[in-house]
Amino acid sequence: MGRRALVEQKLTRYEKLKRDTRDFLELLEVAAEENDEALLQDLAEQTEQLEQSLREAELRQLLSGPQDSADAIVSINPGAGGIDAQDWAEMLMRMYLRWCERRGFKTEVIDLQPADDAGIKDASFTVQGLYAYGFLRAENGVHRLIRISPFDANARRHTGFAAVFVVPNLDDDAGDIEIKPEDLKVDTFRSSGAGGQHVNKTESAVRLTHLPSGIVVTCRAERSQHKNRSTAMKILRGRLFEKERLEREAQFQQSYGGGKMAIDFGSQVRTYTLAPYTLVKDERTEHKTGNVNAVLDGDLDGFIEAYLKWRPRTN
């Protein structure tokens, strides 16, 4: 039923685009024959909307992977850079939540550990919406921030790194991912930070270690150990799917390195420079913009589109 709904949506979108284009061309012919300036002006205004619809349809054609239409799970972890990296991780989280809001996607924070001084130690959230994973997988990798640090009394320039992991939110029977009980090491522990006495006094947090791959997933957001384990299993299943995908593309060692990503110099997929000039540049596609504030406020479509067009040439 899910596949059928997806195909029906594609057909509906295609038929609407074809109909709108046909009507536009017919009106354009009439306006040209009658030299109707008012109608020509209206059609000129419609051109941008029609081009946007065509651009969106072309992008969706690039999302042909088996799980591209799935929901996504996004995890963010600070790397090298100390407090600046922790603050940067929180800025990235806000950026992605704003992008999801613009897209009309639903989000839910499933794990969040605030840092002691500023920012976050790690965070995970789900994104629910058609092609959420297909779009957001463009963000997989290390993101680098260069700015005048607000935490430096001497106002010096600092660099912070944070890793973004995007995986599909898979059902238990989706794909070919099999997780054997004997391949899992399960640890439970008490959560720390906000959450009340129940969170702090019971071992509700869960850490899963997948022994064959070395991938470690932690979830501590829920009061229930059962719910945390279920969420952690979803994240682990998604990461194993992503691991297999990257292996097929001969990029696993480069991007994940045995389940762990180097979150420091030379490993970034995108650089955000706030000083001495303003520029956001994707190191893979060479796409860049000087409007850093717009990007940090969730304007990521240009980078995602560039990645989707670049990706087929790397496979």
Strands laid side by side in the 288-289 sheet: 106-114, 120-128, 72-78, 157-168, 141-148, 268-273, 279-282, 288-289
**Which has the minimum average pLDDT: 18-27, 75-84, 198-207?**
198-207
- Mean pLDDT calculated for residue range 173-196: 71
Q: What is the pLDDT of residues 142-164, one digit of tens each?
A: 999 999 998 888 888 899 999 99
Mean pLDDT score of the chain, rounded to an integer? Answer: 83
- Mean pLDDT calculated for residue range 8-31: 83
Residues whose CB is less than 8 angstroms from the CB of residue 190 and which lie 6 or more positions away in sequence, other chains included: 199, 200, 201, 202, 203, 204, 205
What residues does 161 pair with on adjacent strands? 144
Residue 228 · residue 124 · CB < 8 Å: no
Range among 96-100, 111-115, 184-188, 212-216 rated most confident? 96-100
Q: What is the pLDDT of residues 63-83, one digit of tens each?
A: 877 788 889 999 999 988 889
Please tell me the predicted confidence (pLDDT) of residue 222. 67
User: Taking Cα atoms as reference points, which of 98, 93, 90 lies closest to residue 115?
Assistant: 90
Please tell me the predicted confidence (pLDDT) of residue 90. 95
- Mean pLDDT calculated for residue range 204-215: 86
User: Taking Cα atoms as reference points, which of 147, 95, 158, 85 lies closest to residue 115?
Assistant: 85
Please tell me the predicted confidence (pLDDT) of residue 30. 82
- Mean pLDDT calculated for residue range 254-276: 71
Residue 180 · residue 85 · CB < 8 Å: no
